[in-house]
Amino acid sequence: MDKKEGKDYFICRIKAKKEKYDLIIAILSELLPFDSFEEKKDSLDAYLTVGIFPENIDADIKELAIQLDFSFSWDKLPDKNWNEEWESGFKPVYVDKFCQIRADFHNPQPGIKYDIVINPKMAFGTGHHETTFMMIKMMAGLSFSGKKILDYGCGTGILAILASKLNALEIDAVDIEKPAYENTIENAQINDVFNIRALLGDINAVLDEGFDIILANINRNVILNSFETIRKKMKPNSILLISGILKQDEEIIMKAIQKNGFTIDSRLEKGEWMCMKLLP
């Protein structure tokens, strides 16, 4: 959701131990329609558009607060220039000397192989989150040249853009959120990338098959529900990278990996999150 559109927001101010923030964000974003989250000095702020306040949201959050040991309060936040707010706090991301992710108001750092300019608005995927960072790190070890790529849950389009810069032949980038779909198109243009086909919808919106590499940085439930369909869209000797998975869900994911005929080639961990390279 692009907050520059002139919406008002409810803000849920969550008080918890900072080490629990990632877990709280993962669960709340999966269960409830929050637009975004922001880590403040004394709270984790969750934003919800005025007008889509679910009937039982307060009771649902109270139940989660007991389970995850946090407190919360509600406030209403009037509209303001959210892009200025974002610009004041956005810092470039560096994945070793392989890739830098920056906004157009940052100067590129020399000596880094791939430079990506992102205007994320409210779409997920700036490289700041552990899951996106690990996906990029995994991509550094793969050959994309001449390959057919699917970015499933593309967010800002950052992984699709990187795949293009790595000489991928053609890329489908799909997301169920319209702002992410629009942001992917915009960011591809900013980076002079023209071989990305952005699609709006779930995995079924991708009609093509025979992908060499599929990038799936989403969340546990979406990945679990999509494994069978993803496998059908892969070539026999292709690669699947998955992330957006908490380490506490490892057992569930491992069972699904085995059930759907995948094997784990390699994995990364960062904070509470995992990223895996799977082979069919």
- SS3 sequence of 109-135: CCCCCEEEECCCCCCCCCCCCHHHHHH
Computed over every residue of the chain, the mean pLDDT equals 84
The pLDDT of residue 79 is: 54
Fold of 3-81: Alpha-Beta Plaits (3.30.70)
> Any idea what DSSP says for residue 261?
T
**Is residue 196 over pLDDT 70?**
yes
Q: What is the 3-state secondary structure (H, E, C) of 65-90?
A: HHHHCCEEEEEEECCCCHHHHHHHHC
Rounded Cα distance, 211 and 230, in Å: 10
**pLDDT digit string (tens) for 20-69?**
888 888 788 777 777 677 778 788 888 777 665 566 787 888 888 888 88
C-alpha gyration radius of the chain: 19
Helix (H) or strand (E) holding 257: helix 250-259
Domain boundaries, the chain: 3-81, 125-279
Phi and psi torsions of 195, nearest 5°: -110, 25
The β-bridge relationship of strands 211-217 and 170-175 is unpaired
**Is residue 6 over pLDDT 50?**
no
The pLDDT of residue 14 is: 92
**pLDDT digit string (tens) for 260-269?**
999 999 999 9
For 180, half-sphere exposure in the C-beta direction (CA atoms, 13 angstrom radius) is 26
Mean pLDDT of 183-201: 94
Token readout for 229 is: 């369909």
> Any idea what DSSP says for residue 157?
S
Task: Grade residue 272 by pLDDT with cuts at 50, 70 and 90.
Answer: confident
Mean pLDDT of 172-189: 90
Task: Grade residue 84 by pLDDT with cuts at 50, 70 and 90.
Answer: low
Contact predicate 71/61, CB 8 Å = no
The pLDDT of residue 78 is: 59
**pLDDT digit string (tens) for 131-168?**
888 999 999 999 999 999 999 999 889 999 999 999 99
The pLDDT of residue 131 is: 84
Residue 241's closest CA among 146, 152, 126? 152
Task: Grade residue 3 by pLDDT with cuts at 50, 70 and 90.
Answer: very low
The contacts of residue 247 (CB under 8 Å, 6+ apart) are: 269, 272, 273, 274
**Is residue 122 over pLDDT 60?**
no
Point out the least confidently predicted range of 81-90, 196-205, 271-280.
81-90
Token readout for 271 is: 């904070």
More confident residue, 88 or 105: 105
Report field, pTM of the whole predicted structure over 0.75 = no
For 99-111, the DSSP string reads EEEE-TTSPPPTT
The pLDDT of residue 34 is: 76
* Terminal C-alpha separation, the chain: 35
Our CA dihedral for 254, 202, 64, 16, rounded to 10 degrees, sits at 90
**Is residue 89 over pLDDT 70?**
no
Mean pLDDT of 205-215: 94
Class of domain 125-279: alpha beta
The pLDDT of residue 8 is: 63
